[in-house]
Amino acid sequence: MKDVKNQELPILVFATHNANKALEVQHMLGDAYRIKSLSDIGCHEEIAETASTLKGNALIKARHVYDNYGMDCFADDTGLEVDALEGAPGVRTARYAGEEANAQLNMKKLLEALSGVNLEARSARFRTVICMVRGGEVQYVEGVCEGHIALEPIGVKGFGYDPVFCPEGERITFAEISAVAKNEISHRGKAIRSMVRELLAKS
């Protein structure tokens, strides 16, 4: 028997194919919205992230869903900004070492770029920007986690640049802390919570 109440909830698409990320947001929103992923709505085409900013890329993804599928949507984009590298890798965070790069190659290039830079001068931050398109209206929220780049990769948890990023006030990297602890202080966790507050305030 179908959950009639769930069927009647307003649908909000999360522009991701990651079911776990979508489920995380669903838990935070409770019964205010029904979250669907790109896979859930049959969106399997590649959405080219061609903007020069995180905000621009988030808008491209959210707009693609809204314009082509007629559904309210939100999308996120995240960048690592290193002060000693004038904000790089920034919008190219996921592709820092090339279009086919993986986490290991990206971290290798980052550490090589910071070779000779002492710990005090390796300040950096992770920034997540979320774009929501609802009823044609565009809204942005963001979350920032300040920290610094470690001298070498440490830890095996997490993903991406986690082994080389030490959040502010901590002596350990993101790759050394639990997912729950990371979510409390991470850029993405902060951005998602800001979005949830906005949605619940208007639901």
For the four alpha carbons of 169, 21, 53 and 79, in that order, the dihedral sign comes to positive
Overall average pLDDT of the 101-115 stretch? 97
Rounded to an integer, what distance in angstroms lies between the CA atom of residue 74 and that of residue 164? Answer: 29
* Domain count for the chain: 1
> For residues 65 and 183, which has the higher predicted lDDT (pLDDT)?
65
Summarised one tens digit per residue, pLDDT across range 52-107 is: 999 999 999 999 999 999 999 999 999 999 999 999 999 999 999 998 899 999 99
- The per-residue pLDDT for range 123-172, each reduced to its tens digit, is 999 999 999 999 999 999 999 999 999 999 999 998 899 999 999 998 89
- Per-residue confidence (pLDDT) for residue 6, from 0 to 100: 53
**Per-residue pLDDT, 161:** 97
Q: How confident is the model at residue 20, as a pLDDT?
A: 83
| 131 Cβ neighbours under 8 A, 6+ residues apart | 55, 58, 59, 61, 62, 74, 75, 76, 138, 139, 140
User: Which range marks the domain in which residue 107 is found?
Assistant: 4-202
- Structure tokens that stand for 145 in this block: 């986690």
DSSP secondary structure string for all residues of the chain: ---HHHHHSPEEEES-S-HHHHHHHHHHHTTS-EEEETTTTT--S------SSHHHHHHHHHHHHHHHH---EEEEEEEEEEGGGTT-EETTGGGTT-TT--HHHHHHHHHHHTTT--GGG-EEEEEEEEEEEETTEEEEEEEEEEEEE-SS---SSSSTTGGGEEETT-SS-GGGS-HHHHHHHSHHHHHHHHHHHHHHHH-
Task: Identify the active-site residue in 40, 77, 83, 162.
Answer: 77
The CA angle 105-107-113, to the nearest 5 degrees, is 105
CATH number at residue 101: 3.90.950.10
pLDDT at 158: 87
- Global pTM value: 0.90
| Residue 109 pLDDT greater than 60, yes or no | yes
Is residue 67 annotated as part of the catalytic site, yes or no?
Answer: no
Mean pLDDT, residues 10-25: 92
What's the confidence (pLDDT) of residue 4? 40
pLDDT for res 203: 66
